[in-house]
Chains A and B, each alone.
Chain A
Amino acid sequence: MSSPANPILSLRNVGKTFDVQDRHIEALRGANLEVARGEFVCLIGASGCGKSTLLRIVAGFEPASTGEALMWGMPINGPDPTRGMVFQDYGLFPWLTVRDNIGFGPTSRGRPAREVKETVSHFIDLVGLGRFADVYPHQLSGGMKQRVAIARVLANEAEIVLMDEPFGALDAMTRERLQDELLELWERTKLTVLFVTHSIEEAIFLSGRVIVMSPGPGRIDNDITIELPRPRDVSASDFNELRRSLSTKLHSHHAKVAA
């Protein structure tokens, strides 16, 4: 388990309960997590394990009910451009072209128009959407939309990219391509990525660390460092070994819940 000296992100005993009508629903309990700058961390677990809740607390969309969430040692209260979110359903502004969607953040933060223009064209090229710069989101495929969503947070100088099952709605081929592209971006830009997924393979393929979570109430169970050399081969034997051991860890919790 790594414990970086100066973590970009630290969660201390973070818990979350939702009040739905007259019931308390404990979505997350006692989550402790530290992420160093430049790490690629995946959160994995069955539905209801609190992985999305954890991500939303880090994003600042939900306040923690207990404990504290810190970025660079400062409490997180509310969304902030330093923590960019990539949603599974893209969350693009349908009335803006690709160019203007990517420029939305910098423009909102009052960057001068010329600077915005340069930033935008840089990131449009980075995600390979040059030909689609003036197209509206509804004219794009799912994979292209997600590229816009990624470019949008990068163009806004996000230090951490939070991704909530970003490739979950895409077909297998597109998903693999975007995984490769994301890794390339991560290696090139030295981003910090916190990535929620329910696919074991995706977690092992992408991340340097896999955080295994389990439901009822949602909590962190395991923190596994993945030391396979990159680029990783999903059909290699050591990859499969990891996959098997992670799968056992995940399923042991299912057994517990069932019992």
Chain B
Amino acid sequence: MSAVADQATTRGAASPPRRRTVFEGRRLREPALALILPAALLIGWHLATAGKAYSLIPPPSQVALAFYDLAFGGIRDDFFSATLLSHVVASVSRVYGGFILAVIVALPLGLMIGRIPTVRQMFDPMLQILRPIPVTAWLPLAMIIFGIGPKSAIFLVFLGAFYPILINTVFGVRSVEPRLFEAASMLGCTGSAQFAKVVLPAALPAIFTGLRLGLGFAWMIIVIGEMTGVSTGLGAIIMEARQLSRTEIVICGMIAIGIAGFISDRIILMVGRRLLSWNPNHV
């Protein structure tokens, strides 16, 4: 038996099927490891809740059914049925609306704060005072200024994404090697032309960290943002379901936000990998 096995390994190159299984085994190892914890959580959740008459937390099977109903309808056909897509679309548009707004403001501002002392002296103190104020504290003011509706939500998401993008951009700009500015200027690239040709590309790894963090914050803030009285959005159904004691819908909303945030992060990671392929430290 062992002799056969030895023979098979020494003839490794001549036995492609065996090699392929080894290769696939390795490739499956990572997703398998990633699934251990969710599976354990699911089992624990099921054991703790299934079959108990007065459980305040519904068992996973009930949540799964509710999720199906939320997505496609046909089970309960109530207020929540088949509305998932419209909520996801609403939340995604607010998350990306606020996030893109934050990028538009924070990126140029961060480049300038990092590079131009006058701008830094002007903006930095005020930004440092505003920064510790949590987004939740802005909620009442946002509702007064922007009214009840998606504008408030977008504003709060903007605030949440703004600081991580700004701070990482400033950090990225400040840590550009001075040598590169010398190199650029002796090659004929001077003054504001250096922003696009040196500062931005050199700071890009740090900027991408900021974008990732910012988008993550945007998805965290969206629930608070959609507490401002909008009727659509994943945050809105969570609030709505809570008031109706429909905890299974609350959990569905949480899962949907988790998945949407995860997909968002993967997208930005993919873009980052493409743009930063030159950087040996960025994988």
Residues of chain A touching chain B, judged by Cβ–Cβ distance below 8 Å, are 59-61, 78-81, 83-85, 87, 89, 91-97, 104-105, 108-109, 136, 138, 152-153, 156
Q: Which B residues are in CB contact (< 8 Å) with A83?
A: 186
- The residue on A at minimum CB distance from B185 is A79
- Can you offer 25 A-B residue contacts whose CB atoms are under 8 A? A60-B186, A61-B186, A79-B186, A80-B186, A81-B187, A83-B186, A85-B182, A87-B179, A91-B180, A91-B183, A93-B202, A94-B202, A94-B278, A95-B202, A95-B278, A95-B279, A104-B184, A104-B189, A104-B197, A108-B187, A108-B188, A108-B197, A138-B278, A138-B280, A153-B186
The reply to whether B179 and A91 form a contact with Cβ atoms under 8 Å apart is: yes
The reply to whether B278 and A81 form a contact with Cβ atoms under 8 Å apart is: no
- Nearest chain B CB to A182 CB, angstrom units: 18
- The residue on B at minimum CB distance from A61 is B182
The reply to whether B201 and A95 form a contact with Cβ atoms under 8 Å apart is: yes
**Secondary structure of the A contact surface, majority rule:** loop
The reply to whether A79 and B190 form a contact with Cβ atoms under 8 Å apart is: yes
The reply to whether A78 and B188 form a contact with Cβ atoms under 8 Å apart is: no
CA separation between A60 and B189, bound complex, in Å? Answer: 14
- Nearest chain A CB to B150 CB, angstrom units: 38
Contact residue range for chain B? 20 to 34
The reply to whether B183 and A109 form a contact with Cβ atoms under 8 Å apart is: no
Q: Which B residues are in CB contact (< 8 Å) with A61?
A: 182, 186
CA separation between A108 and B188, bound complex, in Å? Answer: 6
The reply to whether B278 and A136 form a contact with Cβ atoms under 8 Å apart is: yes
- The residue on B at minimum CB distance from A152 is B187
The reply to whether A108 and B278 form a contact with Cβ atoms under 8 Å apart is: no
B223 at the A/B interface (Cβ < 8 Å)? no
B92 at the A/B interface (Cβ < 8 Å)? no
The reply to whether A105 and B201 form a contact with Cβ atoms under 8 Å apart is: no
Q: Which A residues are in CB contact (< 8 Å) with B180?
A: 91, 93
Q: Which B residues are in CB contact (< 8 Å) with A153?
A: 186-187
The reply to whether B186 and A89 form a contact with Cβ atoms under 8 Å apart is: no
Q: Which B residues are in CB contact (< 8 Å) with A91?
A: 179-180, 182-183
Cβ-closest 6 pairs across A and B: A105-B187, A108-B189, A91-B183, A79-B186, A79-B185, A81-B188
Q: Which A residues are in CB contact (< 8 Å) with B64?
A: none
- The residue on A at minimum CB distance from B275 is A95
The reply to whether B182 and A79 form a contact with Cβ atoms under 8 Å apart is: yes
The reply to whether A85 and B186 form a contact with Cβ atoms under 8 Å apart is: yes
- Which B168-219 residues have C-beta < 8 A from chain A? 179-180, 182-190, 193, 197-198, 201-202, 204
CA separation between A81 and B186, bound complex, in Å? Answer: 5
The reply to whether A78 and B185 form a contact with Cβ atoms under 8 Å apart is: yes
Q: Which B residues are in CB contact (< 8 Å) with A87?
A: 179, 182-183
Q: Which A residues are in CB contact (< 8 Å) with B184?
A: 93, 104, 108
Q: Which B residues are in CB contact (< 8 Å) with A109?
A: 188
Q: Which A residues are in CB contact (< 8 Å) with B278?
A: 94-97, 136, 138
- Nearest chain B CB to A22 CB, angstrom units: 22
CA separation between A84 and B188, bound complex, in Å? Answer: 10
CA separation between A105 and B197, bound complex, in Å? Answer: 11
